[in-house]
A = this chain, B = another copy of it.
Amino acid sequence: MATQPQSADSDHESDVEQRNADVCNVVGAVEEMGAKWKLIVLNDLRDGEKRFNELKRSTGASSYTLSRVLDDLEAEGFVDNHKEFESPVASYYTLTEKGDALCPVFDALDDWGEDWL
Interface set of A (CB-CB < 8 Å, partner B)? 2-4, 6-7, 16, 19-20, 22-32, 34, 36, 39-40, 43-44, 46-48, 51, 53-54, 84, 86-88, 90, 94-95, 98, 100-117
Contacts and interface: CB of A to CB of B under 8 A. Distances in A.
Given A2-B100, A88-B3, A29 B109 contact: yes
Copies per assembly: 2
Contacts of A98: 116
Contacts of A101: 112, 115-116
A114 B101 CA distance: 11
Given A2-B90, A4-B100, 18 more contacts: A2-B48, A2-B86, A2-B95, A2-B100, A3-B88, A4-B103, A6-B51, A19-B47, A25-B117, A26-B106, A26-B109, A30-B36, A30-B40, A30-B43, A31-B36, A105-B105, A105-B108, A107-B108
